[in-house]
Structure 1
Amino acid sequence: MTPWYLPVLGAGLGLVLVAWAVAAFYLDGADLARYDTDRGERFASHRPASPGLDDAMARLARAEPPAGLPEAQRLPLRRGLFDRLFSERVFAASFTPVAVDGVKGEWVLAPGADPQRRTLYLHGGGFVVGSPLSHRTITSRFSALTGGAVLALDYRLMPEHKRMAPVEDARLAYRWMLEHGPAGRAPAQAVFVAGDSAGANLTLSLLAWARDQGLRNADAAVVLSPPTDATFASPSIQANLDSDLMLGPVFRKIAHIPRAVVLWINWLQSGIRPCDPLVSPVYGDLSRLPPLLVQVSETEMLYDDARRYVNRAREAGSPARLQSWNHTLHVWHIFNPELPEAEEAYAEIGKFLADEAPQRKAAP
């Protein structure tokens, strides 16, 4: 007589095999190992870590709620703390609230900014925290670097909203910005898109969508520490787990979960296949994209996400550049002036933007 548990065990093993097959052949992306080659332009590769790193980490720690709070209380508190991370800073730029067809945001204008030169900036924060307020250190600098207005979008966040919500908000804002400026309806003369972390992911997804929609391409785009692969296949996801001072502690809890399980979790949470270019732009069509500058830390977990994207884009004929810094944080640009690497990175961004879309010189 067959033991009762054998059919149950067989059914369980069958389900495991089916789940593994779905993860391997439906949720996972193509093998991109051949793009782990060109390392682009490297900065501070032999320099030790900046003394300001401790100050930056101490500031970041102030954005974490006290331990022991229920998650329902932690998230709102964390959002508030993150928004006030640089509340003592005084900026030369002006900040004006704006409604973009129902989506909130703000116009950021550095002194002398040309309102017909416009940048859509998409903030980071893992799609769960962050706002135009938390990123004024970056957006005010982009206004100065572009010589124009920056539309900092307060896109909808998870978990209150689906993963598609920020994608839809970014698309809406891009269309709107092409024809609207700080002073009202007027066509843009120069257009840029930029973002960091989660916002960098949205930026890359947006660039491909705008191309496919036949909309005006951005004159140039800049992304900082971009997550480009929601399948977590990049080697640095594991290799830089210990050296990534910001993301490492967050992802350590899931670092040893089988990747097939992580793929299923991502799919169930977002409703989008992890390999879909909508959330993993590295797997999409990267041809005919605008000039792109990608900056990343060599010690962060997303280093190979950035490297693979740039190498694929260049292979597809798109003008993409990779710049990396060693011994610094994920999106170190926000810690300015604590980190000298931030000023170096902004200087490179300024050169890139000036080459791709120079400002008009005033008449003598």
Structure 2
Amino acid sequence: MLWFFLVLLVILVAATYFLFRVEDLSHLDIQHQPFRGGPPSEEHRYVIGRIRELGQSSRGLRGKARLYALRQHMDTLSDGLSLESEFRPVTHPRGEWVIAPGVDTRRRVLYIHGGAWAAGSPKSHRAITDRFSRIANAAVFAVDYRLMPEHRYMDGVRDCRKAYRWILEHGPDGEEPASCLIIAGDSAGGSHTLGLLGWIKHKGLRQADAAIAICPSTDLTLTAPSNRANIQTDPLLGPAFGGLSKVPLPVIWWVTLAAFRVSPLSPIASPLRGDLHDLPPILIHASDSEMLLDNARRYAAKAQSEGSPVTLHTWSGMVHVWHIFVPNLPEAEEAFEDIQAFLQEVESGQPVQEVHLAQS
């Protein structure tokens, strides 16, 4: 019997070697860089409290009950805010238009929400999409893509692709070509955003005019240093995913392949692992205290080395996707001012700095 397990182990090791030839990207790590602003504002304590409420909403629950409680709580994040936009539901493709007063609806933003591909919705991210509509002078389509585990990972990817094709030619009031098109997303949605850019290029479609990736996941191999180094400083992702640091990486790769039905080396799930040349201007935001910090750093460094214009701005001490706490968090206001300035740079034709790490 022992020989059987030894043979099985050899086969597994060999299969891991051939299936997961993970390129070492440590040369992309930026060791020293300035951060925007000073220590977190007093309002950041309120944000930490909201994060704890998020964790408590599913405490004691297991399986689907835990996931549904998390989804329900996330959908309350924008409750009580004074939002200026009109929220108009759409069935095909599924999502909602977010239209601030007086915006040019020929200008469009495709927004892809975060939530680890298993939670989140257009409703949970209305604070972000409402602000995007205003600062971009555009109609925002927040795509309600299919989530795991009820659906496959690729179902959500296909929904984002379908939404992009659709808003190229359709606005809130019917069929009308877009004059300007921006793709944006946060966390898991930031991953979909960056992956979508590569797919658009591959398909030869009209490329987006610009893209914004907020605290994006860019590499599901989890080989970036901050995935482990920032567990204790990340109040959102640390408690949820910090335990993965105790699991050998090859095991994580196999589990990812089984759950996503996509290899963690695929550019679809790990945009960092793809071809990053000839992309539109991209702005990336990240916090120095979050687990995904080096996902942002590595993507920016690789895209720059391949000739694509990317701007990386890093804040100090912020929670993952702090933007969702606008307008209650000053740093979230600063982040949207930064996004607006970036879009103005792109539209004015000014050269976008490839990697920008300046103090604010």
How many angstroms apart in 2 are the aligned matches of 1:141 and 1:250?
A: 28
> Residue 175 and residue 39 in structure 1: after superposition, are their counterparts in 2 closer, same or farther (change >3 A)?
farther
1:158 maps to 2:151: no
1:84 maps to 2:84: no
Report if the CA contact (8 A) 2:133-2:140 is conserved. yes
What are the within-5 Å matches in structure 2 for residues 282-297 of structure 1?
A: 282-297=272-287
Could you list the per-position Cα deviations for residues 85-134 of structure 1 after superposition, in whole angstroms to 9, with x for gaps in the alignment? 2211120111111123xx31111111211000000000000111100000
How many angstroms apart in 2 are the aligned matches of 1:230 and 1:77?
A: 25
How many angstroms apart in 1 are the aligned matches of 2:290 and 2:14?
A: 31
How many angstroms apart in 1 are the aligned matches of 2:58 and 2:269?
A: 32
Aligned to 1:23: 16
| CA displacement at 1:158 relative to structure 2 | 0.4
> Residue 141 and residue 73 in structure 1: after superposition, are their counterparts in 2 closer, same or farther (change >3 A)?
same
Report if the CA contact (8 A) 1:41-1:323 is conserved. no
How many angstroms apart in 2 are the aligned matches of 1:90 and 1:129?
A: 24
| CA displacement at 1:358 relative to structure 2 | 5.2
2:264 counterpart SS class: coil
What residue identity is the alignment partner of 2:51? L
What residue identity is the alignment partner of 2:3? G
Aligned to 1:3: none
Report if the CA contact (8 A) 2:228-2:242 is conserved. no
> Residue 171 and residue 66 in structure 1: after superposition, are their counterparts in 2 closer, same or farther (change >3 A)?
closer
Match of 1:112 among 87, 102, 108: 102
Q: Percent identity?
A: 43
What residue identity is the alignment partner of 1:319? P
What residue identity is the alignment partner of 1:142? F
Report if the CA contact (8 A) 2:58-2:67 is conserved. no
| CA displacement at 1:166 relative to structure 2 | 0.9
Match of 1:308 among 289, 292, 298: 298
Report if the CA contact (8 A) 1:39-1:322 is conserved. no
2:139 counterpart SS class: strand
Match of 2:41 among 45, 50, 53: 50
Match of 1:275 among 265, 268, 272: 265
Aligned residues: 348
CA RMSD of aligned residues (A): 1.7
| CA displacement at 1:12 relative to structure 2 | 2.0
Match of 2:221 among 225, 231, 246: 231
Aligned to 1:344: 334
What are the within-5 Å matches in structure 2 for residues 1-364 of structure 1?
A: 8-37=1-30, 42-44=35-37, 47-64=38-55, 65-100=57-92, 103-357=93-347
> Which ranges of structure 1 fall in alignment gaps of 5 or more residues?
1-7, 360-364
TM-score w.r.t. length of structure 1: 0.92
1:255 counterpart SS class: helix
How many angstroms apart in 2 are the aligned matches of 1:272 and 1:194?
A: 23
How many angstroms apart in 2 are the aligned matches of 1:208 and 1:128?
A: 23
What residue identity is the alignment partner of 2:25? L
How many angstroms apart in 2 are the aligned matches of 1:229 and 1:28?
A: 14
1:116 counterpart SS class: strand
> Residue 277 and residue 90 in structure 1: after superposition, are their counterparts in 2 closer, same or farther (change >3 A)?
same
How many angstroms apart in 2 are the aligned matches of 1:328 and 1:205?
A: 25
How many angstroms apart in 2 are the aligned matches of 1:137 and 1:24?
A: 44
1:62 counterpart SS class: helix
What residue identity is the alignment partner of 1:61? R
After superposing on structure 2, the runs of 4+ consecutive aligned residues of structure 1 that deviate more than 3 Å are: 38-41
> Residue 242 and residue 131 in structure 1: after superposition, are their counterparts in 2 closer, same or farther (change >3 A)?
same
Q: Which has the larger radius of gyration?
A: 1
TM-score w.r.t. length of structure 2: 0.93
How many angstroms apart in 2 are the aligned matches of 1:70 and 1:247?
A: 18
Report if the CA contact (8 A) 2:98-2:140 is conserved. yes
